[in-house]
Amino acid sequence: MSRLILFNKPYGVLTQFTDRGTVSPRPTLSDFIDLPGVYPAGRLDLDSEGLLLLTDDGRMQARIADPKFKMPKTYLVQVEGNPDESHLAMLRGGVDLKDGRTRPARVERIDTPDLWPRDPPVRFRKTVPDGWLRLTIEEGRNRQVRRMTAAVGLPTLRLVRWRIGDWTLDDLAPGIWREATPSPRGSPPPPRTAPRRPATG
């Protein structure tokens, strides 16, 4: 049976198991997940947080990651500025980026969500307001959400992926993973974590 892993990727962790070609190695998935044969289904930027799916099934990996399957992905986005209906309308209508117009997004303004503190904390400017959006897209372009919010005048301060298809973070803490059934129905086992590897000098 295929394995499906839900992982809450912390800020600053690479979505790969090794960090090649850097003078100072950065945290990778191998610092948190010690499971042979599983690989990320899609990516999540170094400076983004939240849900990452891993599987040992190539077909499932493609269904999750390939944009042609249009699997929706939902993000909680903290933006600089005060989002209003004009901003939301632009995002819902599709945004012109350098690599073409995006598909329409589903987006709404939300109250500040009850999330874990980010490490390092988000830098704020006291004179500039900020707000939160719940934004769902069905594409997977490079840094797409950040580019979309910037294009409508709302630079992203913090980005947390909360949902992929029917799988969500729920109460999964940063750096913790759990195994789920490939079908989102059913009860997954309780969260687990692998100890972080000691730093080497």
Catalytic residues: 45
Tally of CB atoms within 10 A around 126 = 5
Q: Is 63 in contact with 69 (CB distance < 8 Å)?
A: yes
| Burial group, residue 136, by CB count within 10 angstroms (0-12, 13-18, 19+) | middle
Measured distance CA(114)–CA(66) in Å, rounded: 31
Judged by DSSP in three states, 35 sits in coil
Asked whether the CA dihedral 78, 84, 86, 92 is positive or negative, the reply is positive
178 closest CA partner among 53, 71, 76: 53
Peptide bond into 195 cis (omega under 30): no
Report DSSP state, residue 16.
S
Q: Is 77 in contact with 106 (CB distance < 8 Å)?
A: no
Measured distance CA(7)–CA(15) in Å, rounded: 10
